[in-house]
Structure 1
């Protein structure tokens, strides 16, 4: 049965608007990748081409062989992976306690978490700097990891708390009646059901830790402890800016986030009902 003309026109209009929105949103990303594959002399032309012809990998070669790339890449990978793992574990335990136990100060704790989430990140820079200085953790990857962990925990706790609140307590009680231990309940019931929340918070934690420049630059004084966002700034010097290398480096810098999301996004829906199936 064919749809009425008004319905078809409305659907076509909505689809067209969605395509235009996506095209506008993706265009800066396309232009960055397109520019990264152009020879340096073509980047600054008044009328740059819409396609990367002639095709060149020289910008990527300059970026990869830039001083400090491998060291800063390793620092970013270590810090980011540590933040993601710690944030998931700590936030899951905190959210479980907030949803499954009643204790004095629980509401005050939730309000405090919300207030911390609302504080602008730059406003925390000086307090965190002084705290790490007094703890002798300045210029250390461990201190930077704790800083990022503190930045992402309020959001991750709130998100996982919302997922855990939607899980009936009766599921856990039934498992306990069947003789399941607390760890088995967490592993086979709670974790599969909150997997979408875990994935969402892990993406947020990954992006926050991977993209940060401000804290990495202020808290790290030794260049061997810099992360990739700080490394990107090295393409701009007093002699000028290496636009080709900078854009190619930015493209390489964005790849891990895209790969990370592609690896876990298909499990977002799979975790919705996996924990409800009794093994």
Structure 2
């Protein structure tokens, strides 16, 4: 209970601060309950120029990164787990080593690579960048789930008349749903929260994403704390909604697709 309170309190404080009046936000005496409730901070945040453009860019980049990384990692995980080929062990080692490299250390190499192929200030270039950091984790995670599915289930489906593609869709895919959900959450958060690559790769404001938009509330003259915190609250909503939509599959997918015997 105490751990839950510690984890939830920062979120509550963010939302409560977003609902406070400006004088209460900067008050030396903390006010734990926002009263009277004010929506002025949300109004200033939503009225910021380019907000809906940044929302569109963030959704485009995030959804594309999640979908593409899941498709590629699913096929790669099945290949690594089910087939024996030369260099398989080396691929597994590379997947682990790549995850140890800090993302910040890759900013300059990624920038130079995208510049050489004309991918700067281009949303697909940002999608490719996010996939570079997500794929090693998603492939490794899904490989563990594929290994956990008995091969006998696949063989039984083939014997019962399923084609190989039908077997993957009707038997293997439902059993892999917990892993797919876990990796999709990681991919979503990784793409949605990133600031440094979006700021470095994108040059024009029309291609900025929401994390870059959050920084715009800080200027050389002052910081609009109320609008910034309200914007942070708005920024957190899609992640919460996405998790609520997929969290049921974490448990439900563990039994779907199993055969009766």
**TM-score of the aligned structures, taking structure 2 as reference length:** 0.98
Q: Paired residue for 2:178?
A: 196
Partner of 2:213, secondary structure, is helix
Q: Paired residue for 2:193?
A: 211
Structure 1 position 200, deviation (Å): 0.2
Q: Paired residue for 1:106?
A: 88
Q: Paired residue for 2:114?
A: 132
1:39 aligns with 2:21: yes
Output the CA distance in 2 between the equivalents of 1:126 and 1:109. 25
Structure 1 position 254, deviation (Å): 0.5
1:117 aligns with 2:99: yes
Q: Where do 5+ consecutive residues of structure 1 fail to align?
A: 1-18
1:26 aligns with 2:8: yes
Output the CA distance in 2 between the equivalents of 1:25 and 1:276. 36
Q: Paired residue for 1:232?
A: 214
Structure 1 position 257, deviation (Å): 0.4
Output the CA distance in 1 between the equivalents of 2:73 and 2:257. 19
Of the three residues 71, 74, 82, the one matched with 2:64 is: 82
RMSD after superposition: 0.9
Q: Where do 5+ consecutive residues of structure 2 fail to align?
A: none
Structure 1 position 48, deviation (Å): 2.7
State which drifts further: 43-52 or 195-204: 43-52
Output the CA distance in 2 between the equivalents of 1:277 and 1:240. 63
| Superposition pairs of residues 46-65 of structure 1, within 5 angstroms | 46-65=28-47
Q: What is the number of residues matched between the two proteins?
A: 260
Output the CA distance in 2 between the equivalents of 1:62 and 1:39. 12
Structure 1 runs of 4+ with >6 Å offset = none
Partner of 2:257, secondary structure, is helix
Q: Deviations over 1:41-94 (max 9, x none)?
A: 211011131101011001001011101110001000000001110111110000
Structure 1 position 141, deviation (Å): 0.3
Structure 1 position 242, deviation (Å): 0.3
1:147 aligns with 2:129: yes
State which drifts further: 176-185 or 198-207: 176-185
Of the three residues 205, 216, 229, the one matched with 1:247 is: 229
Partner of 1:276, secondary structure, is coil
Output the CA distance in 1 between the equivalents of 2:95 and 2:116. 24
Output the CA distance in 1 between the equivalents of 2:53 and 2:164. 42
Output the CA distance in 2 between the equivalents of 1:175 and 1:30. 49
